[in-house]
């Protein structure tokens, strides 16, 4: 099993985009398999760094799943099980698309995949357009 962490932290046109995702990845013939096992601590006030907990944060977890599935598909390595163990963000700077981008980076790091510059640019374009959608919009990176 390989553990990795992906971070998406950018500012574009005055907007903040921030998320961090930790994953555990291992080969599995039945893959792709996606699991979430987040045990973050609840946050007490707006503006604090938030950790996805075991319950709640459904949209962030769905964003992570979309990112994981995209990362495996692009890398042509779908026979893996990916467990998301930690999602961190801030309500004002994080949405499911940004979480998905961080998850993509974590998976690619874990499986030692280097994306083409065009893929990175396409991913950033999707993320930079994400604040134009509802805050809980779950992306389709495909």
Query: Does residue 35 lie within any of the structural domains?
Result: yes
Query: Does residue 141 lie within any of the structural domains?
Result: no
Alpha-carbon torsion angle 80, 83, 86, 91, nearest 10: 80
CATH of the domain at 95: 3.30.230.10
- ω before 32 within 30° of 0 (cis)? yes
Query: Does residue 140 lie within any of the structural domains?
Result: no
pTM (whole model) above 0.75 = yes
Query: Does residue 104 lie within any of the structural domains?
Result: yes
Query: Does residue 113 lie within any of the structural domains?
Result: yes
Query: For the chain, what is the domain count?
Result: 1
Query: Does residue 83 lie within any of the structural domains?
Result: yes
Other CB atoms within 10 Å distance of the CB of residue 125: 11
**CA angle 52–107–61, rounded 5-degree value:** 25
Please give the Cα distance from 142 to 114 (Å, whole number).
Answer: 18
Query: Does residue 34 lie within any of the structural domains?
Result: yes
Identify the pLDDT of residue 45. 61
Query: Does residue 29 lie within any of the structural domains?
Result: yes
Q: Which domain, by its residues, includes 12?
A: 2-132
Q: What is the full per-residue pLDDT of the chain (142 aa) written as tens digits?
A: 999 999 999 999 999 999 999 999 999 999 899 999 998 887 766 668 899 999 889 999 999 999 999 999 999 999 999 999 999 999 889 999 999 999 999 999 999 999 999 999 999 999 999 999 998 999 999 8
Identify the pLDDT of residue 42. 74
């Amino acid at each position: 099993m390989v553990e990795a962490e992906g971070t998406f932290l950018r500012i574009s046109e005055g907007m903040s985009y921030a998320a961090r995702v930790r994953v555990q990845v291992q080969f599995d013939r039945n893959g792709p398999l996606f699991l979430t096992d987040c045990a973050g601590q609840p946050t007490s006030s707006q503006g604090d760094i938030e950790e996805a907990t075991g319950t709640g944060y459904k949209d962030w977890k769905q964003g992570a799943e979309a990112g994981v599935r995209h990362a495996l598909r692009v890398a042509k390595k779908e026979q893996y099980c990916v467990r998301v163990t930690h999602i961190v963000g801030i309500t004002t700077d994080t949405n499911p698309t940004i979480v998905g981008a961080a998850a993509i980076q974590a998976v690619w790091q874990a499986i030692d995949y280097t994306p083409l510059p065009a893929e990175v640019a396409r991913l950033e374009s999707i993320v930079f357009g994400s604040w134009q959608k509802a805050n809980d919009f779950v992306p389709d990176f495909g």
